[in-house]
Structure 1
Amino acid sequence: MVQGITRSERELLDAQALVGELVPEGSVFAFLAEHRAELFPDEFIADLFPSATGRPSLPADLVGSVLVLKELYDLSDPQTAEALRFDIRWKVACGRSLSQTSFDPSTLVYWRKRIARSDRPDRVFDAVARVIADTGVLTGRRKRCVDSTVFDDAVATQDTVTQLVAAMRKAARLVPGAAAVIARVAKLDYAKPGKPDIDWDDPAAKQELVSVLVCDALAVLAELTGPDAPQREATAADALGLLALVAGQDVEPADGSDGTDGRWRIARKVAHDRVISTVDTEARHTRKSKSNRKDGFRGHVATEPETGLITDTELTRAAGEEGSDAVVGEQMIARDSYHGTGADDAGPDAAPPTADTPPAADTPGGTDDGATQPDPARSRHTGEDSSSSSWVGAVVDGVAAGTAENGRRSGLEVYGDSAYGTGEARAKYRDGGHDTVIKPKPLCPAVPGGFTLDDFTIDGQARTVTCPGGHTRVMSPKRSVTFGKLCAGCPLRDQCTTAADGRSMSIHEHQALLRAARAQARTPEFERDYPTRSSVERIIAWVATQRGRRVKLRYLGVTKNHAWLRNRAAAINLRTLVNAGLTHRDGAWALT
């Protein structure tokens, strides 16, 4: 297949020429009708067609426009193909004639796969990002707000019995010879559709079924795995691994059994990092609160609060440390492409701060184990005109906030809730040259109204902790401290601890940074600045809802859904720019 090219001459029934006035001015449809070729030139997909022979594909401007509109309006593949065929707005935006039909919905599957396998899987997001960079709308804008939301997955959450049965059937389909082994060693007939036929109101019958299912799975695994098992392809190995996982994650030996007698029961706990479906093995349980459990994936977003533009996104599993808010938030800020930091911006002789380089003297808290008292938090704004009623006007007027007095650009100013304020995350922000306006987690005193950790004096250099009563103890190698007998006759004991063996505590590796953050949160500057963070909630709502309903993911796995989130963010950014007057004149993008 060869790359398709859009012809410069219009067709007889060109939609834009005949009914273009029906498309509202200032809409994304009208913008694409006029500028889709500049936004998605032939180079947009040229790398996907190394051959110069074959049947022409769809042209680049049509592919890019369809991908943007599809995600902007959260349409399925069939709905997208239908819109391109019948919706006049889509025909005008994509340069179609009134009589042209659409393509088959499977064409969109083809394009997603082809783009995903390429060296530029984020090309739609990157195309809009280049427009943002060219306009200069984010130049000098230091503020970034980070937040996340949970997206419902595209599959149903499965119970333990359903997962065991499904995993056995999957092994039978994908592992060579597994169907014969299952038929020979298993007690249940897994070729029969549906759940096993038992009395589901009888607890004893359900426990017996669980025992049979687990024993069948273990028997099949014993036959198909082991040191003498043949080398298997990835899909077959994954199917056996999934069977082993679901056979162990939700069950435990029955009372009075060690499992060797074949008696099992559903465990009275939730397995760590539990697989909730054999259809999408990357979907996970999580909680928005103690009473609100969610299943699916977590979408992370970084935004610039005054413009409403999304600067970065990431989609991860809903549970797990690698997908936590603190970890992903720091990653998004570190790779921010709109505001350079480090040696390149500071000059040839400057070096970016590292974990081994102490922060500047005016950094709250100094080094992590340094001063015993935190420095008061300071206001970190450097002249950004946040009171302007028009952020477009601010760019036109040449506002360049975030530049230090020596002419060097400073880092970013990160706004987030307490989930983003772990000690590790704050240390990375500090080392990256970034300032933080992140809400700290409150300290809970051991005695209501009593002393908290901030009432103790911590000397990181001497590795000692002094309590409010004046007693000093040395930290252990694992940074724990026990006052023990010193608490027995202390007159302040009732305000400090209820433990019989005295007050004990663990000192965080980044305790100085955490203490400085709590001190910062008590300043008038923090109370003034922190509400800026709330703007990201509006942008999260743009991403996660459509016409008042919650968006539900359409794809399986992290990779495919991450690609969807990037395209969705690109479409929303384009709409934001169009609403601000984006145009293309004299070969350059500009905001009118």
Structure 2
Amino acid sequence: MIVGFAGWKGFRVSLEAWDDRGVPELTARVVRASFPKGTLAVRIRDALGPVFGDSAFALAFPAVGRPAASPGVLALVSVLQYAEGLSDRQAADQVRARMDWKYLLGLELDDPGFDYTILGDFRARLIKHGLEEKVLEVILDHCSRLGLLRAGGRQRTDSTHVLAAVRTLNRMEFVGETLRAALEVLAKTAPQWLAPRIDADWAGRYGARIDSYRFPKGDDVRMRWAEQVGRDGYLILDAVAAPGAPAWLREIPAVQVLGQVWEQQYQRAGEEVHWREGKDLPPSRNRLASPYDIDARYGLKRGLGWSGYKVHFSETCEADLPRIITGVLTTDATVTDTETTGTIHQNMACRQRVPGEHVVDAGYVTAAHIVTARDEHGIDLLGPVGLDTHQGERFPQSAFRIDWQSKAVTCPQGKTSISWSAQRKSSGTELARVHFAAGDCTGCPVRAECTTASVNSKWGRSLTLLPAAQQEVLEARRGEQVTEAWQQRYHIRAGVEATISQVVRHTGIRSTRYTGADKTHLGHLLAATAANIVRIDAWLTGTPLGRTRTSHLTQLDLDLAG
């Protein structure tokens, strides 16, 4: 039995003892008669039992206080609402109205359910106590017991963009809306303090949402408008920071965001206020994109720009088992795939779900990643590396013989390098810069195929080498990835795109429901868990995987080619 009540926030809420004794007899009889072929909820209950136990979430609830709904039930309802694309209110209504949901939750047919606001509080408690991953882990434990997950094996990973739950604003809209948001809060919480510091013009500039404002035409007029907003913002910030101002004003989140945005977007010299431009702006990774979601960032990939996040899904890809999502990583939109490889492997190791082979696209692979994955985690990182930039018109690096002990390189014509200097990129990557003598290259019969260095240059051919282990693995992978055998082995990577498509279509993760990275990540975990439940059901019922869609024109071309 779930107890629910409205307006309970602010109370000390304890864990309600809930002993699942199986599906009530009447519920089972009515549901079996109504759905003789079953539904997803019915089949999951029969296969997994109550799915989530309360003990997994006990840390999020005090031992004493006003009783709340069962955390296990709330977790399962949270997953179901992603599986069916429901809001909190709709999900709570389904608990009261759907017989198959009552069957899955083990409830009597007349159970009144709970108030929908409890779902939001439940998510907040999971985040506060660091229990977000529990939702996915419980399902993975069920999969292990059912034999649907095996140790080692193969996994694959890919990412997709996620739009923040805020509007994408240009710079003028952004600064105007940031100031407007701060003024709205101050007008409500400190009206007597704010009133003498503004005049009637402020209501005209900031009384309505900035994205509904028709900006004046002309670059000069718009620049004057932006600088006026800057001066108005500094007036508020200076007043808040003044010695006589109430200290609590400085603790208002909207005011703190205003200060951060003004530091990033403006510079002030005396009474003059100007836009920051070009290199004077902080990098996009450090620059806020919305006053309402301070974790969202503006990212750009292959010409696509968006404000928000990226999500990386890792899944199993065994031929004789269902594809189960085993890991979810959420980052802001500016984080590249290359930066996440180590984190993904570390997460796999912490959860003791390390694959023997990890299949990814080129965005996740560098020589350093291959070596680290192999040496630290025993993972064969399978993915293409970048081609040798000297391939084709010049001799590639693979044509040179490297003696790592003596730090010397011999070219295909038998000449030995005369310079070897250790260097380091700005990213911290170690490398060696190797040079051949200009005299050795000047009269070389294959010079035109080897180097474009000027005949008046101090050096002849030059090479840039990674540390020995990385350079060796790089050359080996470059040789492997052009073979038919390697390409056939790598062919399985494409299947992860179908997983991302399924999760996007069924759970709507392309646009986050929440503001903030923590809430967005929890939403991604719930979406992944929902996808796993759908896949477990499909596996248990023998539902075949959907075929890749092919247009009629493409199919005609394939038929003609055959």
Within 5 A, what are the aligned runs for 1:110-509? 110-118=121-129, 120-172=131-183, 180=193, 184=197, 189=202, 192-195=207-210, 200-218=216-234, 220-221=236-237, 224=240, 236=251, 239=254, 242-250=257-265, 262=272, 264-265=274-275, 267=277, 271-273=283-285, 274-289=287-302, 291-306=303-318, 307=321, 308-320=323-335, 324-339=339-354, 412-432=356-376, 433-445=378-390, 449-469=393-413, 470-478=415-423, 479-483=432-436, 485-486=438-439, 487-500=441-454, 501=457, 503-509=461-467
**One-letter amino acid matched to 2:175:** L
**One-letter amino acid matched to 1:514:** L
The Cα of 1:223 is off from its aligned counterpart by: 5.5
> What CA deviation, in whole Å up to 9, does each residue of 1:363-397 have, x standing for no partner?
xxxxxxxxxxxxxxxxxxxxxxxxxxxxxxxxxxx
Superposed CA RMSD:
3.8
Q: Kindly indicate whether the alpha-carbon contact (under 8 Å) linking 1:321 and 1:327 is maintained by their aligned counterparts in 2.
A: no
Structure 1 residues 304 and 417, CA gap change in structure 2 (3 angstroms): same
Partner-residue secondary structure (3-state), 2:68: strand
Q: Kindly indicate whether the alpha-carbon contact (under 8 Å) linking 2:254 and 2:291 is maintained by their aligned counterparts in 1.
A: no
- 1:21 aligned to 20, 33, 51, which one? 33
Aligned to 1:92: 103
The Cα of 1:124 is off from its aligned counterpart by: 1.7
Q: Kindly indicate whether the alpha-carbon contact (under 8 Å) linking 2:338 and 2:365 is maintained by their aligned counterparts in 1.
A: no
CA distance in 1, matches of 2:220, 2:84: 50
Partner-residue secondary structure (3-state), 1:285: strand
Q: Kindly indicate whether the alpha-carbon contact (under 8 Å) linking 2:156 and 2:359 is maintained by their aligned counterparts in 1.
A: yes
Q: Select the structure that is richer in helix.
A: 2
The Cα of 1:284 is off from its aligned counterpart by: 1.9
> What CA deviation, in whole Å up to 9, does each residue of 1:85-107 have, x standing for no partner?
33343333334455544433212
Structure 1 residues 418 and 236, CA gap change in structure 2 (3 angstroms): same
CA distance in 2, matches of 1:239, 1:88: 45
Partner-residue secondary structure (3-state), 1:104: coil
Report percent identity of matched pairs: 22
Q: Kindly indicate whether the alpha-carbon contact (under 8 Å) linking 1:186 and 1:220 is maintained by their aligned counterparts in 2.
A: no
The Cα of 1:286 is off from its aligned counterpart by: 2.4
The Cα of 1:229 is off from its aligned counterpart by: 10
Structure 1 stretch displaced more, 497-506 or 272-281: 497-506
CA distance in 2, matches of 1:534, 1:414: 13
Q: Kindly indicate whether the alpha-carbon contact (under 8 Å) linking 2:298 and 2:307 is maintained by their aligned counterparts in 1.
A: yes
TM-score, normalization: structure 2? 0.76
Partner-residue secondary structure (3-state), 1:313: strand
CA distance in 2, matches of 1:47, 1:229: 43
Structure 1 stretch displaced more, 104-113 or 137-146: 137-146
Structure 1 stretch displaced more, 179-188 or 142-151: 179-188
The Cα of 1:69 is off from its aligned counterpart by: 0.8
Q: Kindly indicate whether the alpha-carbon contact (under 8 Å) linking 2:152 and 2:357 is maintained by their aligned counterparts in 1.
A: no
Return 5+ residue gaps in structure 2 as ranges: 1-13, 424-431, 542-562
The Cα of 1:309 is off from its aligned counterpart by: 0.9
Q: Kindly indicate whether the alpha-carbon contact (under 8 Å) linking 1:61 and 1:94 is maintained by their aligned counterparts in 2.
A: no
Aligned to 2:524: 565
Structure 1 residues 71 and 204, CA gap change in structure 2 (3 angstroms): same
Structure 1 residues 23 and 328, CA gap change in structure 2 (3 angstroms): farther
Structure 1 residues 205 and 535, CA gap change in structure 2 (3 angstroms): same
Q: Kindly indicate whether the alpha-carbon contact (under 8 Å) linking 2:22 and 2:106 is maintained by their aligned counterparts in 1.
A: no
Structure 1 residues 243 and 332, CA gap change in structure 2 (3 angstroms): same
Aligned to 2:538: 579
Aligned to 1:390: none
Q: Kindly indicate whether the alpha-carbon contact (under 8 Å) linking 1:282 and 1:557 is maintained by their aligned counterparts in 2.
A: yes
- 1:533 aligned to 490, 493, 496, which one? 493
TM-score, normalization: structure 1? 0.73
